[in-house]
Structure 1
Amino acid sequence: MLVTITATRPAGAPWPATDLGYLLAKNPATVQSFSHGFGRSRVFYPEADEARCTAALYLEIDPIGLIKSRNLDSADFSLSQYVNDRPYAASSLLAGAIGQVFRTAIRGTSKERPQLAAAAMPLTLRLPVVSATAAFVERMFAPLGWTVTATPLTLDPAFPAWGESRYCDVTLTGEQRVCDALSQLYVLLPVLDGSKHYWIDGEEVEKLLRAGEAWLPGHPDRELITRRYLGRRPTLVRSALARLAESDEVPAAELDNAVPEEGDGVEEGVVAAEGTGNGSDGTSDNAVAVAEAQEPSPHTSLATLRHEAVVAALKDVGGKSVLDLGCGGGALLRHLLHDRYFTSIVGVDVSVRALQYAARKLRLERQPESVAARLTLKQGSLTYTDASLKGYDAAVLMEVIEHVDPPRLASLEHAVFGAARPEAVIVTTPNVEYNVRYETLEAGRLRHRDHRFEWSREEFAAWAEDVAAQYAYTVGFRPVGEVDPEVGAPTQMAVFRRGDGKITGPTNAGRAEADRGSQSTQPTQSPKSTQSPKSESSERSAKSEKEAN
């Protein structure tokens, strides 16, 4: 695999282009060789004059050495260990070689040319084979100031009908410091490829923060980069985001979208219902966290749009006293607490750790007494009734219901709509139809490892209308995020308002069962694959009436 770095001397510049050699600490007049555990790399200069200078890093992979250092997560299939794209596609192997060969350059130091090392210069980077779509390459590098040219590679030029491969030829042009350009390649090559050739541990957090110190905090997709670079390891991702949040450039609320530890409720809306899932730790064995699915665009995050939509809906229904049910790490609480419109706020979550995390990130101990007095954090399960939650203007279930096993939805419905019974209830949940718009989300995968299901717009509407009818509410629907004409918005919202009609929901026997909470440990399944939410709720109601009789 190959990467080239070309420096062009601007008109009137006092330095020749060959000074690139000083910044890289590699003499243009010689060919240098370096040994790695997985192969050998060479640095040479195809061209070097005062106007233009190009340094090339060529990495030759040793298949046997690669097998010895392979990622422990890789499939142990004998043929795939030898027949793969690692020898030619830019990946963590090339990033590792860049980090070793250009270590001094990445630090941004140069004894001979210190001023030049600190200055931006016209650069062109070329990566002939990158394992990523052109759109994803653009998304990663364009916000950093690069002009991106990504040309998809055909499977076989002799057979154009076969179409394009999943690789592209990438050229980046722009004015950058050499140290920044190299550090960006070091971090983003594994992100583009989506895997690493070695075991990911706590040291990777330090590598990421050190290499991305100058540019990662300001990148609009910093969370996506962090997740993919750290292999979606929940603890490592949250640790890195916490460190990034210490910078003034990163809102602390972004931490609340970090992948939670398995069984942890730190992600916003995670209910962590006891005894659910297939795994021994309460998570689904085949669930996969997909961070990139949380961001619909490289500009305003879906999480931010969702918070804004929920706050607007609360004001529309006159909800000054609010229950944030499944508050997680306090993402929404932060918005509510800083808006004086909301006079009383209660955050409820089953995870004590999540509540402690929320209190710490909201800095309650530093808030004025008048501000802190408006907020109460309360531990509790949303599938059990709680008399203290009665009498509030509005309740919010933001990205919560999809974390509940379908057999337990009836308990949650009764606890919120039947027992707490606020004047209004706002519910948001992913729109599964929109998942096809996420290029990095595999077909059939859900957006988060803890999602028990994701509903289409029709399924969500059927569930919401059935709940509204049972508990004497009216319901309306709003899109959240950019609306696609074919698949709708990435998030869907239902706004319930309490009516004056008689509750036609579960009978006394059914409510008693809901109060106890279901202890089902059935395998996780999507309502879409079994029956519609409306028919399932009707069946539950009929069963409850039969038991009462």
Structure 2
Amino acid sequence: MLITLTYAPEPDAGVDATVLGHLLHKHPAKVQSFTAPVGDIQVFYPEATSERCTVAVLLEVDPVGLVRSKRFRGDAGALDHYVNDRPYVASSMLAVALGTVFRTAMTGRSDSYPELAAAPLPLRVEIPVVSTRGDEDDLVRRVFEPCGWTVSEQRIPLDEEHQDWGPSRYSGVTLTGRVRLADALRQLYVLLPVLDDAKHYWVGDDEVGKLERAGEGWLTAHPERDVITRRYLLHQRSLVAAAEGEGSAVSSAPSDAAAPLRVLRADAVLDALHDTGAARVVDMGCGPGALLVRLAKDRSFTRIVGVDVDARSLERAAMALRLDQASDAERARIELLHGSVVYRDERLRDHDAVVLMEVVEHVDPSRLGALEDAVFAGAAPPTVVVTTPNSEHNVLFPALAAGSFRHDDHRFEWAREQFRAWADEVAARQGYTVELRPVGIEHPEHGAPTQLALFRKADASVPQTPSNRAASPGTPLTPTGSTGFAHGQDAQAVSGRRTA
């Protein structure tokens, strides 16, 4: 599949068009090759004169290799995974290729030409083949024109020799306009998968963050924001709710928050840990490692343990933490364990704090007693931090249907008094004190979107500092190692899906 981008400055601008190479951080006189999970990428310049400069990105896809790859989402035995349009239609694979080769340019950084990098430029983008799947009419124009592009779309006939058969669902598209280069690249990164309404990889929680970063500065006010969000997130209701309903960069709801709720939530957890002086922390239901990455960057945390029942989530957490590239000291500092929040685990004792961030609501109410026993009586840390959605706030999320939960896997969502009653009862039974804190912008009637409980053991002493604590024993387990803990419904109790 192919895409070209052309820069032709106005004659009186006094700019050499080959400056495009500096802005893209790719030399016009070189053919550069890259290898990515999606295939082999070639970057070259078909023309590079002072008046006009064009860069081309050619992605050569091995469709059979994609099917056989573990990254490919779907049934490898299905025929349509082998006979399809993936090798030539602009899609998520081309978006990944653009992100791979133009990562720096997408940030808008240029040390050589900062003024040009920050300014709208006369650009032309040509995409020989795009697919517009689904029932959305005139989608190419609707998603690109509000970004400042003039759109020329030419439908490709189903068969050139049989025009009476009508057009196919494929088009050749040309975009022209004055757009900042970084914005143009980020718009293509988001909108190519939106047009195709499919992705070649599993869409997880981290896609919301990708959409926020790539959509910064242009997506919030886009009139087709809702369509773009739904299709980019493959219509997964929980992810769409997370993107649209939490004051994020793509939210349609007014918000004074400077960051999306998931960021504010993690900040609140870190603040609670710092308030108690915790240095050895367990993240129960760690999922793909969003909180673990934050903990790892803070050197005040001397030991970090992530626990999840889902082996794939632990593998993703290891990748997010880059444990394969970490030093021996860092690998000893961070440990990933396979386990469940509803079973006691001796490995989790002797830590300063246990965090359950957006975990309890994934546990069946009948198993909350087992969670209490495993965490408060079994691990028994001096500090426990629990966050969970405030169900009263749900009415303020426009993308959330009345009476719905924020995530398909939520077994319940507590109002503020329900959470307070549970927290008070647990604290009384287990010998803790508890402090409740709001997380996010508080509504005068419905409260904050997230509620946090900070439990402190009533007789807990100040946690030891790294200077007077003995080195922790044990060798980190591999992320895929199994302890045979959780099965059936219990297995869902620790798989941290932090989108709500």
TM-score (norm 2): 0.51
Quick one: distance in 1 between partners of 2:384 and 2:202? Answer: 42
Q: Is the 8 A contact 1:402 1:452 kept in 2?
A: yes
Q: CA deviation at 1:418?
A: 1.2
Quick one: distance in 1 between partners of 2:334 and 2:186? Answer: 42
Of 213, 227, 232, which aligns to 1:230? 232
In the TM superposition, what are the counterparts of 1:19-30 in structure 2 within 5 Å? none
1:100 aligns with 2:153: yes
Q: Find the residue that maps to 2:153 and give its secondary structure.
A: helix
Q: CA deviation at 1:232?
A: 3.1
Q: Is the 8 A contact 1:92 1:189 kept in 2?
A: no
1:379/1:182 CA distance change after superposition, 3 Å: closer
Q: Find the residue that maps to 2:419 and give its secondary structure.
A: helix
Q: Which amino acid counterpart does residue 105 of structure 1 have in structure 2?
A: T
Deviations 1:470-499, CA, capped at 9 Å, x for gaps: 111110111111111121111110000112
Q: Find the residue that maps to 1:311 and give its secondary structure.
A: helix
1:186/1:418 CA distance change after superposition, 3 Å: closer
Quick one: distance in 2 between partners of 1:520 and 1:348? Answer: 17
Q: Which amino acid counterpart does residue 449 of structure 2 have in structure 1?
A: P
In the TM superposition, what are the counterparts of 1:278-427 in structure 2 within 5 Å? 290-293=241-244, 295-298=246-249, 299-427=258-386
Deviations 1:214-236, CA, capped at 9 Å, x for gaps: x93645979998752235366xx
The percent identity for this pair of structures is 43
Q: Is the 8 A contact 1:105 1:178 kept in 2?
A: no
Deviations 1:152-207, CA, capped at 9 Å, x for gaps: xxxxxxxxxxxxxxxxxxxxxxxx4699689959967998xxxx8x86453999xx
Of structures 1 and 2, the one with the larger relative CO (CA 8 A, separation 6+) is 2
Quick one: distance in 1 between partners of 2:274 and 2:182? Answer: 48
In the TM superposition, what are the counterparts of 1:47-66 in structure 2 within 5 Å? none
Q: CA deviation at 1:365?
A: 2.3
Unaligned runs of 5+ in 1: 1-9, 15-22, 24-68, 75-85, 109-116, 121-175, 235-258, 260-286, 502-514, 525-549
Q: CA deviation at 1:447?
A: 1.4
1:315/1:520 CA distance change after superposition, 3 Å: closer
Partner residue, 1:216: 214
Q: Which amino acid counterpart does residue 100 of structure 1 have in structure 2?
A: E
Deviations 1:118-140, CA, capped at 9 Å, x for gaps: xx3xxxxxxxxxxxxxxxxxxxx
In the TM superposition, what are the counterparts of 1:129-528 in structure 2 within 5 Å? 176=179, 200=198, 202=200, 216=214, 218-219=216-217, 227-232=229-234, 290-293=241-244, 295-298=246-249, 299-500=258-459
Quick one: distance in 2 between partners of 1:425 and 1:226? Answer: 39
Quick one: distance in 2 between partners of 1:226 and 1:199? Answer: 9
Quick one: distance in 2 between partners of 1:446 and 1:402? Answer: 10
Q: Which amino acid counterpart does residue 174 of structure 2 have in structure 1?
A: A
1:393/1:94 CA distance change after superposition, 3 Å: closer
1:96/1:320 CA distance change after superposition, 3 Å: closer
Q: Find the residue that maps to 2:174 and give its secondary structure.
A: helix
Q: Is the 8 A contact 1:475 1:495 kept in 2?
A: yes
1:425/1:204 CA distance change after superposition, 3 Å: closer
Q: Which amino acid counterpart does residue 334 of structure 1 have in structure 2?
A: V
1:452/1:372 CA distance change after superposition, 3 Å: same
CA RMSD, Structure 1 to Structure 2 (Å):
4.5
Q: Find the residue that maps to 1:105 and give its secondary structure.
A: strand
Q: CA deviation at 1:93?
A: 8.5
Quick one: distance in 1 between partners of 2:291 and 2:215? Answer: 22
Partner residue, 1:530: none
Query: How many aligned positions are there?
Result: 303
1:516/1:357 CA distance change after superposition, 3 Å: closer
Bigger radius of gyration among the two: 1
Unaligned runs of 5+ in 2: 1-9, 15-51, 53-131, 146-150, 155-170, 250-257, 461-483, 494-500
Quick one: distance in 1 between partners of 2:423 and 2:337? Answer: 26
Q: Which amino acid counterpart does residue 476 of structure 1 have in structure 2?
A: E
In the TM superposition, what are the counterparts of 1:37-76 in structure 2 within 5 Å? 71=134
Quick one: distance in 1 between partners of 2:452 and 2:371? Answer: 17
Q: Which amino acid counterpart does residue 407 of structure 1 have in structure 2?
A: S
Quick one: distance in 1 between partners of 2:226 and 2:330? Answer: 33
Q: CA deviation at 1:295?
A: 2.6
